[in-house]
């Protein structure tokens, strides 16, 4: 195997593992901040107990997010040095700003949140919770500004043998990036909502801490519903953006081979890359793809055959990732809506089958979010920066044996750590909330409490 | 504005961020190295004392990486791809270091805890050693020409590189023991620190001397002797930390020990200027602040961002240290 393929695999593996932790961090940070706000406002310790329980799962998840992100930060240099040389004048800044603006905020205030319950006042503690939430949301902005630039490069000139930044504001306000941003944030809410719902379902099925998890269930439901509706809406606009900016990705997502007007949308499609056609196309709505992409059912959509083979992304992978993601999105919408209905009818506790469905649905949003990134990144191929630089030219001159070593190490070690981390999250989730004693509630005693997510 | 000014400012900001990272994470790494060798009660206290700090300290490393990328993209590309294997091992060790700190408390099972304490020690040791080796090699220059880097992980393991690695390990271990003494009031921390000090002093003296032969770091100082204040202060703080230690002042001693790290790194950064990744083959191939930097526009934007956010970061990190550092980890601590 060559260094390009190995480096691509390594990037996919590290970023894929990293993104198993990111969405929950974003959504849970917000949930915990909201719960704690309710506690501080009402003095109702049930909300404190909720913030602590969900916050503990957040922290176990957070650690792996941090460490898997660390390798990402250096990987552009180790494995993609030609890319870094050519694009660094633009691409490096968002990463540096992300650290300065977001990572310090997150790391400092998460520590105050975890260890500061008895060291700082209620209000300062609440402030810390919101700073963590702000940090996670800011962090996403900068990394997506960076990625958005790879999707739709703006604000640069080619000079001195590299791409040089000439308009920072254009890079930051890149509408492509902002479309991605909202889609990613809302998908993080969906994932977080479904994790909350699944864990609540686990306890409700066993009749444990029923009041606690019924209350939590509502939080999960609200964030899941907001997320899933928002994801659908932003996904639509995102798709329109892709159709305009990256026609090759759009054609691959929809498996459109021939350029034409009034492109229909089919419910069932099976593309074949070798024959450059779709052997199966069934249940079509005329002009729907054209309409969804350009608000006009007779708009022209570019087909893959009009794009040279060397400039096409892998069609099957892009197509199926997109399809399955969309199907999962529809599933999330149906489940969340049905959950809302049961909740409103007060029939949730009797619906054991639905609760089991929720429990077993926990992995699905993880799959969906990683499929989304697969569409984004694989669909952009053969480019690292769309239209500017190919992936093959971006790679480091490092010997393939080095990359093979690091790839093997990353796969083995990350798999072990990630497996262990999910096991620990599950263990703590199954244990349920810890009782909040009256004494602890308004305690002013300064007591060291340095154990993160202690088991006691 | 002179053309050299912006890259020069960024060169020193770059060095400062690395220096702060080593000063802060240095004692964390030292604590990590120590942890595997302690009996259970002390081990638990020590590892839990890292809880509030390791992440915030590690962000300085992420920032160092980010600053390198943003301000010196060519350096970022060449340095990290040249030092591929050592860097990958450092990063994976950091992953394990952090995970060990957090996983350790997840079970009371003694074997589980032993595994993570050992992981913590090995991971911390490798990070300290390999960063030392890498920077030692940067100080003395690498096998770099116009076609790229020609060394291997073995060519990095030369005497000066190894000496710098040992120096890093010793000073971090020393500072880690001071933290141990400071946080737990345990005599063992004092005792071990006192035992580490003589070899540390020896390594420091050897480093100072061999730097004159193996590197060009002292030439900037000879050109502007006033700069000798910085290494002088480093030496003073290295002596002060031992005196404070003798007086039983763990906090003061740790502060002086961390200051030694900070000033030593800054000394080397001053000595390097304007080189960032010097070539041993021929200086024309060296990456410098001037030939590896971003465009003036990017440097300006980043400078504005830094001037706004770096002071904020310092304020809340110092507040955070004040909040958590003084607390003793004692028997009543709720494990």
User: What is the rounded distance in angstroms from the CA atom of residue A305 to the CA atom of residue A202?
Assistant: 50
Residue B142, strand partner residues: B279
Domain that holds residue B216: 5-324
Q: Please check whether residue B28 lies inside any domain of the structure.
A: yes
Structure tokens given for B9: 């400012």
A445 touches chain B (CB under 8 A): no
Interface touch B295/A454, C-beta < 8 Å: no
Print burial letters for B110-119: b (CB count within 10 Å at least 16), e (below 16): eeebeebbeb
* ipTM value for the complex: 0.92
Angle at B224 between CA B220 and CA B228, to 5 degrees: 80
Overall average pLDDT of the B292-305 stretch: 95
Interface touch A95/B66, C-beta < 8 Å: yes
Q: Encode pLDDT of B19-44 as tens digits.
A: 999 999 999 999 999 999 999 888 99
> Cα distance from B174 to chain A (closest Cα, Å)?
23
Q: Encode pLDDT of B42-97 as tens digits.
A: 899 899 999 899 999 999 999 999 999 999 999 999 999 999 999 999 999 999 99
On the 0-12 / 13-18 / 19+ scale of CB atoms within 10 A, A347 is: exposed
Q: Encode pLDDT of A189-204 as tens digits.
A: 999 999 999 999 999 9
B228 touches chain A (CB under 8 A): no
Please, what's the largest Cα pairwise distance for chain A? 73
> Are the C-beta atoms of B217 and B268 separated by less than 8 Å?
yes
Which residues from A are below 8 Å from B301, CB to CB? 93, 165, 168
Find, among A173, A169, A8, the residue nearest to A79 by Cα: A8
User: What is the rounded distance in angstroms from the CA atom of residue B115 to the CA atom of residue B189?
Assistant: 22
> Cα distance from A200 to chain B (closest Cα, Å)?
22
Question: Phi and psi for B281 in degrees, rounded to 5?
Answer: -75, -50
Find, among B262, B165, B267, B240, the residue nearest to B206 by Cα: B165
What is the DSSP code string of A361-414? TTHHHHHHHHHHHHHHHHTTTTEEETTTEEHHHHS----HHHHHHHHHHHHHHH
Overall average pLDDT of the A242-268 stretch: 93
Q: Please check whether residue B215 lies inside any domain of the structure.
A: yes
Q: Please check whether residue B329 lies inside any domain of the structure.
A: no
A73 touches chain B (CB under 8 A): yes
Q: Which of A448, A449, A453, A456 to mutate to test the interface with B (most CBs of B within 10 A)?
A: A448
DSSP 3-state percent helix, strand, coil across chain A (nearest 5): 70, 5, 20
Q: What pLDDT is attached to residue B126?
A: 97
Which residues from B are below 8 Å from A456, CB to CB? 334-335
Q: What pLDDT is attached to residue B1?
A: 54
Q: Encode pLDDT of A50-65 as tens digits.
A: 999 999 999 999 999 9
Which residues from A are below 8 Å from B314, CB to CB? none
User: What is the rounded distance in angstroms from the CA atom of residue A432 to the CA atom of residue B251?
Assistant: 40
Q: Please check whether residue B335 lies inside any domain of the structure.
A: no
Q: Please check whether residue B330 lies inside any domain of the structure.
A: no
Q: Which of A78, A90, A166 sits opposite B84 (nearest CB)?
A: A78
Structure tokens given for A98: 């992300």
> Are the C-beta atoms of A51 and B50 separated by less than 8 Å?
no
Q: What pLDDT is attached to residue A438?
A: 52
Q: Please check whether residue B267 lies inside any domain of the structure.
A: yes
* For chain A, percent of residues with pLDDT exceeding 90: 84
Q: Has residue B334 got a pLDDT over 80?
A: no
Residue A261, strand partner residues: A300
Find, among B176, B163, B61, B48, the residue nearest to B113 by Cα: B48
> Are the C-beta atoms of A244 and A210 separated by less than 8 Å?
no
Number of structural domains chain B divides into:
1
Angle at A59 between CA A53 and CA A64, to 5 degrees: 145
The number of CA neighbours under 13 Å toward the Cβ of A29 is 29
A141 touches chain B (CB under 8 A): no
Chain mean position to CA A29: 14
Q: Encode pLDDT of B107-149 as tens digits.
A: 889 999 999 999 999 999 999 999 999 999 999 999 988 888 8
Q: What are the residues whose beta carbons fall under 8 Å from the beta carbon of A239, sequence distance 6 or more?
A: A250, A253, A292, A293
Q: What pLDDT is attached to residue A455?
A: 38
Q: Which of A92, A99, A111 sits opposite B320 (nearest CB)?
A: A111
Interface touch A81/B81, C-beta < 8 Å: yes
Structure tokens given for A44: 């109702």
Overall average pLDDT of the A26-43 stretch: 96
User: What is the rounded distance in angstroms from the CA atom of residue A310 to the CA atom of residue A376?
Assistant: 18
Overall average pLDDT of the A401-417 stretch: 92
Interface touch B55/A110, C-beta < 8 Å: yes
> Cα distance from B296 to chain A (closest Cα, Å)?
9
Q: What are the residues whose beta carbons fall under 8 Å from the beta carbon of A93, sequence distance 6 or more?
A: A165, A168, B70, B294, B298, B301, B302, B305
DSSP 8-class letter at A360: H
Q: CATH number of the domain at B214, please.
A: 1.20.1630.10
| More confident site: A171 or B327 | A171
Q: Encode pLDDT of B160-193 as tens digits.
A: 999 999 999 999 999 999 999 998 888 889 999 9
Q: Has residue A453 got a pLDDT over 90?
A: no
């Amino acid at each position: 195997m060559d260094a390009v393929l190995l480096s691509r695999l390594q990037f996919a593996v590290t970023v894929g593992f990293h993104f198993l932790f990111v969405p929950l961090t974003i959504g849970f940070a917000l949930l915990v901040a909201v719960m704690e706000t309710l506690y501080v406002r009402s003095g109702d310790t049930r909300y404190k107990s909720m913030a602590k329980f969900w916050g503990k799962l957040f922290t176990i998840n957070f650690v792996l997010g941090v460490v898997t992100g660390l390798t990402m930060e250096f990987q552009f240099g180790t494995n993609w040095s030609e890319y870094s040389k050519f694009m660094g004048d633009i691409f490096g800044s968002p990463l540096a700003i992300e650290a300065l603006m977001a990572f310090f905020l997150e790391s400092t205030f998460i520590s105050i949140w975890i260890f500061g319950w008895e060291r700082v006042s209620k209000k300062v503690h609440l402030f810390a919770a919101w700073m963590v939430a702000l940090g996670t949301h800011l962090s996403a902005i900068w990394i997506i500004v960076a990625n958005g630039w790879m999707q739709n490069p703006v604000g640069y000139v080619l000079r001195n043998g590299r791409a040089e930044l000439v308009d920072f504001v254009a890079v930051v306000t890149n509408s492509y990036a902002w479309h991605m941003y909202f889609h990613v944030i809302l998908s993080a809410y969906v994932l977080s909502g479904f994790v909350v719902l699944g864990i609540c379902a686990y306890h409700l099925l066993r009749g444990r801490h029923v009041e606690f998890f019924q209350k939590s269930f509502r939080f999960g439901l609200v964030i899941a519903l907001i997320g899933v509706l928002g994801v659908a809406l932003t996904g639509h606009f995102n798709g329109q953006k892709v159709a305009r900016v990256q026609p090759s990705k759009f054609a691959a997502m929809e498996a459109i081979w021939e350029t034409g007007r009034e492109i229909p949308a089919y419910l069932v499609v099976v593309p074949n890359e070798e024959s450059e056609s779709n052997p199966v196309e069934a249940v079509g709505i005329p002009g729907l793809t054209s309409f969804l992409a350009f608000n006009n059912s007779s708009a022209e959509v570019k087909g893959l055959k009009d794009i040279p083979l060397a400039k096409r992304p892998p069609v099957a992978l892009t197509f199926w990732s997109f399809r399955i993601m969309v199907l999962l999105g529809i599933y999330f919408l149906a489940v969340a809506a049905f959950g809302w209905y049961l909740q409103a009818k007060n029939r949730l506790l009797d619906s054991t089958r639905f609760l089991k469905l929720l429990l077993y649905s926990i992995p699905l949003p993880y799959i969906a979010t990683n499929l989304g990134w697969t569409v984004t990144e694989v669909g952009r191929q053969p480019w690292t920066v769309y239209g500017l630089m190919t992936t093959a030219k971006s790679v480091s001159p490092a010997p393939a044996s080095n990359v093979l070593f690091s790839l093997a190490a990353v796969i083995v070690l990350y798999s072990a750590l990630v497996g262990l981390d999910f096991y620990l999250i599950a263990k703590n989730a199954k244990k349920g909330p810890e009782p909040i004693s009256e004494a602890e509630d308004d305690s002013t005693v300064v007591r060291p409490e340095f154990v993160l997510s202690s088991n006691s | 504005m002179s053309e050299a000014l912006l890259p020069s400012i960024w060169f020193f900001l770059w060095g400062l961020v690395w220096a702060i990272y080593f000063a802060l994470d240095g004692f964390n790494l030292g604590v990590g190295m120590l942890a595997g060798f302690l009996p259970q009660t002390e081990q638990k206290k020590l590892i839990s004392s890292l809880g509030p700090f390791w992440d915030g300290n590690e962000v300085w490393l992420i920032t160092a990486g980010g600053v390198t990328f943003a301000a010196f993209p060519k350096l970022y590309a060449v340095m990290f791809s040249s030092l591929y294997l050592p860097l990958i091992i450092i990063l994976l060790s950091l992953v394990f270091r952090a995970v060990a700190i957090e996983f350790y408390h997840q079970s009371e099972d003694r074997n589980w805890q032993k595994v993570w304490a050992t992981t913590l020690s090995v991971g911390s040791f490798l990070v300290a050693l390999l960063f030392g080796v890498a920077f030692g090699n940067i100080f003395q220059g690498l096998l770099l020409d116009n076609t790229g880097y020609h060394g291997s992980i073995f060519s990095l393991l030369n005497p000066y590189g190894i000496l710098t690695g040992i120096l890093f390990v010793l000073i971090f271990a020393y500072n880690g023991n001071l933290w141990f003494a400071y946080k737990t009031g345990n005599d063992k921390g004092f005792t071990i620190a006192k035992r580490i000090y003589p070899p540390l002093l020896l390594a420091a003296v050897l480093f100072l001397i061999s730097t004159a032969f193996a590197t060009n770091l002292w030439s900037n100082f000879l050109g502007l002797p006033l700069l000798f204040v910085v290494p002088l202060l480093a030496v003073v703080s290295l002596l002060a930390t031992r005196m404070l230690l003798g007086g039983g002042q763990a906090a003061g001693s740790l502060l002086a020990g961390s200051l030694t790290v900070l000033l030593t790194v800054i000394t080397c950064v001053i000595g390097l200027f304007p080189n960032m990744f010097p070539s041993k083959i021929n200086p024309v191939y060296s990456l410098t602040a001037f030939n590896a930097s971003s465009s003036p526009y990017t440097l300006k934007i980043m400078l504005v961002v830094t001037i706004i956010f770096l002071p904020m970061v310092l304020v809340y990190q110092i507040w955070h240290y004040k909040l958590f550092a003084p607390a003793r980890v004692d028997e009543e601590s709720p494990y």
